[in-house]
Amino acid sequence: MTDSASPETINEPRLWRDKGWTAEVIKNEDDDGWAVAMYLDGESEPALVGPWTMGRDKKNPKPLDVNAFNTLVKTAAEVIRRHEQQLHAQLHKELRVDTAEDRLTISFDIVPDEDAPHALLSAHDRAGEKLGQARVRPDFRFNQASAEAWVAGGFEKPAGG
């Protein structure tokens, strides 16, 4: 929808572009109403699509205005933020392992590479210094027992990893 080569500000009743976002009021294909689609500049898919209010004539959409646009930007940005948080939670896990010397943080980070998907196991001490790292399969069973075994094995690539 948006063209990153032309980020000029537009303030029309059915099309607003500003602050890196475009709001477009569109005919709702499912009924007689209207919808608004919010696009982040450079993206072809909308970050948010929702119903839009009818105007006073009950036939045409209410025109966009600065307040409505600002609210839509805030809502669409929140949708993107939540999506990023959910993706991060799916791709990143952490556990703590206590050793005689320290309490370690063991991280499991999936790298969703289309050609070579994998995951990285990393161990850090309390000061944040990396003690070890190993590349493992993305379906590696990461749990307390596997983390403890990896630490006990001197951070060598685990079996089945």
Instruction: Tell me, yes or no, whether 76 and 109 share the same domain.
Output: no
Number of domains comprising the chain: 2
Instruction: Tell me, yes or no, whether 68 and 136 share the same domain.
Output: no
The residue from 89, 116, 142 where one domain ends is 89
Instruction: Tell me, yes or no, whether 66 and 119 share the same domain.
Output: no
pLDDT tens, position by position, 88-144? 888 999 999 999 999 999 999 999 888 999 999 999 999 999 999 999 999 999 999
Nearest residue to 69 (alpha-carbon basis) of 1, 10, 4: 10
Instruction: Tell me, yes or no, whether 79 and 125 share the same domain.
Output: no
Instruction: Tell me, yes or no, whether 66 and 26 share the same domain.
Output: yes
For residue 4, the model assigns a pLDDT of: 46
Considering the domain boundaries, does residue 160 fall inside one?
A: no
**Strand ordering across the sheet containing 92-98:** 92-98, 103-111, 118-124, 130-136
Find where tokens 């080569």 sit.
5
For residue 7, the model assigns a pLDDT of: 67
Q: In sequence order, which ranges of 8-161 are alpha helices (DSSP H)?
A: 66-91, 144-152
User: Can you give the residue range of the structural domain that contains 136?
Assistant: 99-152
Instruction: Tell me, yes or no, whether 42 and 73 share the same domain.
Output: yes
Instruction: Tell me, yes or no, whether 23 and 64 share the same domain.
Output: yes
- Going by pLDDT thresholds of 50, 70 and 90, the confidence category of residue 25 is very high
Considering the domain boundaries, does residue 157 fall inside one?
A: no
Q: Are 85 and 77 in contact (CB under 8 A)?
A: no
Considering the domain boundaries, does residue 161 fall inside one?
A: no
Instruction: Tell me, yes or no, whether 103 and 83 share the same domain.
Output: no
For residue 6, the model assigns a pLDDT of: 52
Considering the domain boundaries, does residue 3 fall inside one?
A: no
